């Protein structure tokens, strides 16, 4: 078997969008029988929430979709991540910029927008942190669409 593809989901604090994206992707990979084909994690460009679980609203939103993310813990994006992961998928253009300037020139990980993988173009996953349950649902929907696109790429071997 080939080496698993390393996919790192990244948002600002690693307590809302990227934990939900990680959870959505893990769930879709398992449902498709492809769990062994990818190694998935999440991180944030900020260290502000390091060690904390996802926001309780993100946990509740994921749970409504049958996905448990409460065991995840926030961590900051590290320089080592750019070699440890093949794809660093960013929730929005600000995160994409922040991750891009941190990437060492010799690192192989590709820094891209998460929603490029959903087939919806260069769009951002809006940060639901200052919003309500519906904002978390919107972020989940977008992250799940990207997860579906990633699973399809893995299934077809398009990497």
Provide the residue ranges of all domains of the chain, joining segments of one domain with +.
12-156
Over residues 51-61, mean pLDDT? 98
pLDDT at 51 > cutoff 90: yes
Structure confidence at residue 1 (pLDDT): 60
Catalytic sites, residue numbers = 11, 17, 127
CA distance 91 to 104: 20
12-156 carries CATH number 3.90.1260.10: no
pLDDT at 57 > cutoff 70: yes
Question: What band does 118 get if pLDDT is binned at 50, 70 and 90?
Answer: confident
> Crossing angle of helices 17-31/56-64, nearest 10°?
20
């Amino acid at each position: 078997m080939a080496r698993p593809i390393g996919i790192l989901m990244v948002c600002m604090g690693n307590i809302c969008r990227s934990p939900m994206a990680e959870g959505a992707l893990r769930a879709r990979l398992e449902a498709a029988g492809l769990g062994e084909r990818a190694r998935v994690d999440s991180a944030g460009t900020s260290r502000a929430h390091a060690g904390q679980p996802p926001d309780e609203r993100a946990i509740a939103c994921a749970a409504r979709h049958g996905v448990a993310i409460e065991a995840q813990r926030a961590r900051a994006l590290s320089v080592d991540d750019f070699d440890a992961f093949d794809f660093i998928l960013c929730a929005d253009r600000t995160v994409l910029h922040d991750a891009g300037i941190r990437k060492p020139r010799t690192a192989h990980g590709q820094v891209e927008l998460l929603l490029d993988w959903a087939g919806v173009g260069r769009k951002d996953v809006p940060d639901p942190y200052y919003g309500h349950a519906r904002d978390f649902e919107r972020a989940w929907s977008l992250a799940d669409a990207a997860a579906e696109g990633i699973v399809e790429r893995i299934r077809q071997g398009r990497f």
